[in-house]
Amino acid sequence: MSPALAPLDGALRARLDEREWGAAGAGVPGLPGWAGVLPVDRDGSPVPPAAAPPAGADAPEGVDPVLRAAVEGGAAALVAVEVAAAAGDRALLAVLWSDAEAGSGLARGLDVVPGAGLAGTTPRPGVEVSALPVSRLVDEVLRHVPDAPARVAAAPATVPEELTVALARAIRTGDTATVDALCAELGTDGPPAVVEAAVRGTDGSLVVSVASRGRADVSTLSLLRTDAGWVELTRTADGHVVHTPRSREDVRTALRYDLTGRFTTATTTEDDA
């Protein structure tokens, strides 16, 4: 029998090696691409293809039915949250699904080529499967958010988009004359601290995407991990880029607000169906 879900970090979890994951996820439709079974397990042994469960069975032979139900959580979900996080030489991809009462999730760790971020990652064998009450959904997302210590104090800054690109290039290349000229145009005594932190000290990123039943839009929060902590870059309608330091509580507040609205719409849509 496969591992069963057990209490850990505020939810029920099972950490599966690749062979166990291949059996637990066999035949489940709609899983993210990163959840595909890797050919080699943690110990270097090959992972054979797993057979889908026979018709009418709750789970493949040897797979705990409750664990299997958590893996299949996306089928009945009202809300789906995807997380892609990188910090230093480690990264993580996760998906969380939830209806109005309970949720489940999958997560896989990644190794990162130094300086390459999520674009230069290698998946690590093993998948964590979780089950949780809907009241813990936001906490579960935040569990996947790496710490981002603020080593420099920085206030929000708004910079014209064309100057943002030129200023970043000048900072990276050490072109102090251009930096001084651009800062004079901005009316600042040196580059804004949050801009300089985003250019000089970025060593990770965070993307949280939220989709739900009854709505076609996808909400996306995208942050950079910098010496000023997490920083969000947003473009305005008048061609400016706003650089805003964000705390974990800011992420929590944004998620809670978005999920509340989405659950309201999704449950209404489900009741009307």
Residue by residue, DSSP assigns 127-180 as EEEEEEEGGGHHHHHHHTSPP--B-S----EEEEHHHHHHHHHHHHHT-HHHHH
pLDDT recorded at residue 117: 60
Mean pLDDT over 238-263 rounds to 96
Q: pLDDT, tens digit, for every residue of 63-102?
A: 999 999 999 999 999 999 999 999 988 899 999 999 999 9
- The per-residue pLDDT for 109 is 96
pLDDT band at 200 (very low <50, low <70, confident <90, very high): confident
56 pLDDT higher than 60: yes
Q: Decide the pairing of beta strands 240-246 and 121-123.
A: unpaired
Question: Is 240 exposed, middle or buried, given 0-12, 13-18 or 19+ CB atoms closer than 10 A?
Answer: middle
Mean pLDDT, rounded, for 206-234: 96
Q: State percent of the chain over pLDDT 70.
A: 95
Asked if 106 and 95 touch (Cβ cutoff 8 Å), the reply is: yes
Examine the pLDDT at 5 and tell me if it is beyond 90.
Answer: yes
Q: Is 61 exposed, middle or buried (0-12, 13-18, 19+ CB in 10 A)?
A: exposed
Distance of alpha carbon 44 from alpha carbon 5, whole angstroms = 25
The runs of H, that is alpha helices, within the chain are 18-24, 65-71, 137-143, 161-173, 176-186, 193-200, 248-272
Residue 273 has pLDDT above 60, yes or no: no
Closest C-alpha among 191, 190, 198 to residue 231? 198
CB neighbourhood size of 34 (10 A)? 18
* Residue type for position 32: P
Residue pair 122/90 in contact by the 8 Å Cβ criterion: no
- Spatial separation of the C-alpha atoms in residues 160 and 239, rounded to whole Å: 6
Which backbone phi and psi does 80 adopt, to 5 degrees? Answer: -130, 135
